[in-house]
Structure 1
Amino acid sequence: MRPATGEQYELDFGDLSATIVQVGAGIRSLRFAESDLTEPYPVGEQPPSACGIVLVPWPNRVADGRWELGGEARQLDLTEPAKRNAIHGLLRRRPYELVDRSDSMVTQAATVYPEPGYPFLLDTTVTHELHTEGLQVTHTISNAGESAAPVAVGAHPYLRIADVPAEQLTVTVAARTRFETDDRSNVTGEAPVAGTPYDLSAGRRVSELELDTGFADLPDGPVEHVLAADDGRRVVLWADEAFRYVQVFTHRSFATKPGGVALAIEPMTAPANALNSGRGLRWLEPGETWSVSWGVRPEGFGGEAYLASWG
């Protein structure tokens, strides 16, 4: 059977393994020994609910797919038709080209070509690498056009800890504000989380949460978001200082988990509707290149044996 997501790149490093796919440069699986660290999906299927994909040149939503550039209205394709939004950028269903490959690393490239809604030319690469700290993902964007281009980067991993139901896990996100949204998931305002059910800074049981929520006002410098089991195992999603926003999604209709919850923790360099608000956008000048990184680190999956496997 031919994979629905193109080439499948199998990576290995000690007890870590991953499957990275060609379409959307997504993560189809990430494991430590026999424990899944992200939600896997079958080789014959498309990524359910954007599972593991790269979000470029913007993450999340653009309301009505409309924004203005130099006073001129721009219209993006409505890729979330039920809510009349443009969602998750322009590369989520496009095949990438192989650039470099080793047992533990793969680099893929894709070009964003100009179109009426986004008239810019970008060369992009994504490197997935397994090493002693887990999985590291590095995104590079170069402006190959003749005018400054607004860009942002996101990713859409669904985290898990082996076979522990997500409802029994605790999620910690050190954010001080959240974005309020309307019934189309578009931003209408921003509010502090302190003293509200949206405060995840001290950890909240996933069973208590009903979220498809963007968060902001993260601590300065690199950030860490944590999913933890009661037995001490943790999956840490870390991101460098460019990722000042994060979306947390408790998905109760994830295609491969009927009746259960899949939890997405989505690092983003800009929030929803950034093409309109300008918040978090990076304007790349012609010829300029920008690189950002995030990753997934397992902790407590075997103690000394875990560390020794990389010795």
Structure 2
Amino acid sequence: MPAASGTQYRLHRAGPQGEVRATVTELAAGLRELTVGGRTLVQSFGEDVVAPMGCGMVLVPWPNRVRDARWTLDGEPQQLDVTEAATGNASHGLLRNTGYRAGDHTDHAVTLLASVFPQHGYPFRLDTSVAYTLDDDGLRVTHTIVNRSSRPAPVAVGAHPYLALGDVPTSDLTVTVAADTWFETDEQRIPVASRPVDGTPYDLRSGARVGDLSIDVGLGSVQQVDGAIRHRLTAPDGDTVELWADDDFRFVQVYTPKNFPSADGPTQAVAIEPMTAPADALNSGTGLRWLDPDERWSLSWGIRLTRV
């Protein structure tokens, strides 16, 4: 039977910490597997299932939610398709159910391509690509978007990896995120205010044990650490998996479900979702980028393993 997520692009290369391997899916250009020296760096899922809880997906041309699937363009109301029935919102962009086509493909890299066509609530044409390239210690992901419309198009980018660190239970890992603000949300999970993280469960700047958290929160004012945006999961022995990102990714969603479906049953997981804009950016304009006709935007993030 064909895989539920389509063609599986299996990448490999030698590295100083052992072989680096990844599996990328045709559906949603998703990251399904990543290991360094046999050590797992992301939550995986089987070929025979649809990615659970958005696992590994690319989120374009917006991440997170749009209130009531509505926004306004040049004074004209726009009605997107509702893709989150429980809230009535449009969620995670327009490519999450799209099969990408293959571009360049080598043993250690693959570029996947997909177009956003004019449609309900989004009257723009975008050409997009996602390039996955293995490094010595992990993976680099580069998104490129070109506006093929005759007028400026609003765009934001996100990704939805769930990080892991080998056999260490996720609940025992410490998550560290250098973000100074959090977004208070309403019953539709749409931001209504941005507030300082000080004194809240969302202050992850000094680290917090994942098992002690029960959060699904958007964070903003993400700060650079040692010249780059860096989010980290650290094991008790000091080994670390790091999600790094370009300066474009000034927002992040942190989600700590305790019921992530694994082969062994529900388990604790942690999603660290780099985003260029928070939820409802099409309405608020926060973090939204307007690409001129034929303008190209490229930006990168990645995952790496550091051992003590």
Whether contact under 8 Å (2:62, 2:156) holds in the other structure is: yes
2:176 is the alignment partner of 1:172: yes
Q: How far apart are 1:28 and its partner, in Å?
A: 0.7
Aligned partners of 2:69 and 2:82 also within 8 Å: yes
Q: Secondary structure at the match of 1:217?
A: strand
Which of 111, 125, 135 aligns to 1:131? It is 135
Q: CA deviation at 1:133?
A: 4.2
Distance 1:46 1:154 in 2: 19
Are positions 1:11 and 2:17 aligned together?
Answer: no
Q: Which residue of 1 aligns with 2:283?
A: 276
Q: Which residue number in structure 2 is paired with residue 42 of structure 1?
A: 46
Give the Cα separation in 1 of the matches to 2:88 and 2:81. Answer: 9
Q: Which amino acid aligns with 2:103?
A: V
Q: Which residue of 2 aligns with 1:309?
A: none
Deviations 1:7-35 (A, max 9, x none): 10000011110000101000010011222
Once superposed, what is the RMSD of the aligned Cα atoms? 1.1
Q: TM-score, normalised by structure 2?
A: 0.96
TM-score, scaled relative to structure 1: 0.95
Q: How much does 1:253 deviate?
A: 2.2
Deviation at 1:222, TM superposition (A): 2.5
**2-structure distance, mates of 1:151, 1:12:** 32
Would you say the 8 A contact 1:165–1:260 is kept in 2? no
Segments of structure 1 that go 5 or more residues without pairing to the other structure are 304-311
Distance 2:110 2:73 in 1: 35
Residue 267 of structure 2 aligns to a residue whose secondary structure is coil
* Aligned twin of 1:298: 305
Shift of 1:173: 0.2
**Match of residue 190 from structure 1:** 194
Cα offset, 1:262, TM superposition: 1.1
Q: CA deviation at 1:184?
A: 2.2
Tell me if 1:110 matches 2:117: no
Identity level (%): 51
**Which of 261, 266, 272 is the aligned partner of 1:265?**
272
Do the aligned partners of 2:20 and 2:136 also contact (CA within 8 Å) in 1? no
Structure 2 contact 137–306 (Cα < 8 Å) conserved? no
Q: Gaps spanning 5+ residues in structure 2: where?
A: none
Distance 1:191 1:258 in 2: 36
The AA in structure 2 aligned to 1:246 is: V
* 1:202 CA drift (Å): 0.4
| Alignment partners' CA distance in 1, 2:277 and 2:205 | 20
Do residues 70 (structure 1) and 69 (structure 2) align?
no
Q: 1:51-98 CA distances to partner (integer Å, 9 max, x unpaired)?
A: 001000000000111100011111111111111111000001100011
